[in-house]
Amino acid sequence: MTQTPVAATQVGDPAVAPRTPMTVVRGYVALTKPRIIELLLVTTLPAMVLAAHGLPDWWTVLVTMVGGTLAAGSANALNCFVDRDIDALMRRTGHRPLATHDVSPTGALIFGVLLGVFAVGLMGFTANWLAAGLTALAIGFYVIVYTVLLKRRTPQNIVWGGAAGCMPVLIGWAAVTDSLSWAAVVLFGLVFFWTPPHFWALAIRYREDYARAGVPMLPVVATPAQVSRQILGYSWLTVLTSLVLWPLATGWVYGVLALLAGAGLLIEAYRLNAATKRGEAGKPMRLFHFSNSYLAFVFVAVAVDTFLR
């Protein structure tokens, strides 16, 4: 697909916004994608609470949250570095610092690497080396497996590449126990199955963006009916996986809350599926926003149930 320079100019023209020290600082912060980090941390702390059967010691919580923030920031900054060409072609990402030239590619690369090195070192020397190893694996998987190898080659990119976003629950668990357990694996699976319907709902909304950039996200290469069916299937897997945790490591409070939240997620998925069957566009962003709330609610339910027991 031939790209025209017009698209890149429309979304990120350095002449429109002069580069100043403040825009550079804001640019480096934006490279870390703070809003994505928030959701990752929401899954980390409840996993730590469940692993500790209560609130872990404050030092472990502090270093894990700081290390997790730095690691996620590293992966996101390196993702921006690799994807700087397609980010400039997409309206959703055209405001990113490399697309607007607020940060140089070299600066973004060095920044991302330094954040990653510091994150792994912090986890290793203050928590344990299992947590540090999982942190390094998460960064590498997101940047190399998802961004470099999968994203531009297969519509299943977010299915397998999304495993990087599941790693915080394992990292948090390992930071507390210096080991892993089946409960941690179930939490990993919950986020793993949640990721495709969450991201595909967003990709439906920005289908033209991904098509313009030549990224084969599922909504670009499949019909709306096919996409909505896969979203529905993964939503069911998400809810069923969340319920596996009930007899394994939680009590009735979590079970009831997970059932209620799961019902809401399935209702939204069925609504989108029904709309596509009628030949309508549906409301994918409604599902996207609800999926954010769903994941946060279920993980908060893990912590609440643990404290009550």
pLDDT at residue 109, as a whole number: 97
Residue 21 pLDDT:
79
**In terms of C-beta density within 10 A (0-12 exposed, 13-18 middle, 19 or more buried), how is residue 112 classed?**
buried
Residue 184: partners with Cβ closer than 8 Å, 6 or more residues away: 47, 51, 169, 170, 173, 174
Q: Where is the domain boundary, 150, 179, 208?
A: 179
pTM for this structure? 0.91
Q: Is 303 part of a structural domain of the chain? A: yes
Number of domains in the chain: 2
Instruction: Based on the fold, state whether residues 190 and 274 are members of the same structural domain.
Output: yes
- My answer on whether 171 and 30 are in the same domain is yes
Domain CATH number, residue 267: 1.20.120
Question: Based on the domain organization, do 197 and 173 belong to the same domain?
Answer: no
Structural domain ending residue among the three candidates 179, 205, 221: 179
Cβ–Cβ under 8 Å, residues 262 and 302: no
* pLDDT at res. 17: 53
Report the alpha-carbon distance of residue 35 to residue 228 in Å, rounded. 26
What single DSSP character describes residue 282?
-
Is residue 227 in some structural domain? yes
- For tokens 């080396």, the residue is 129
Last residue of a domain, one of 141, 159, 179: 179
Whether 2 is in a domain gets the answer no
Tens-level pLDDT at each residue, the chain (309 residues): 333 333 333 454 444 456 777 888 899 999 999 888 887 789 999 999 999 999 999 999 999 999 999 999 999 999 999 999 999 999 889 899 999 999 999 999 999 999 999 999 999 999 999 999 999 999 999 999 999 999 999 999 999 998 999 999 999 999 999 999 999 999 999 999 999 999 999 999 999 999 999 999 999 999 999 999 999 999 999 999 999 999 999 999 999 999 999 999 999 999 999 999 999 988 999 999 999 999 999 999 999 999 998
Question: 174 lies in a domain?
Answer: yes
The reply to whether 43 falls in a domain is yes
45 assigned to some structural domain: yes
Where in the sequence is the domain holding 35, given as residue range(s)? 21-179
Are residues 154 and 281 both part of a single domain? no
Sign of the CA dihedral with 62 first, then 127, 131, and 69 last: positive
29 and 172 belong to one structural domain: yes
**Token reading at 180:** 């892993």
- The pLDDT score that the predictor gives to residue 309 is 83
124 in the same domain as 50: yes
- Encoded tokens for 209: 């963006």
CB burial of 270-301 (b: ≥16 within 10 Å; e: otherwise) equals: ebbbebbeeeeebbbeebbebbbebbbbbbbb
Measured CA distances, 233 to 190, 238, 267, 279, 290 (Å): 13, 9, 13, 19, 17
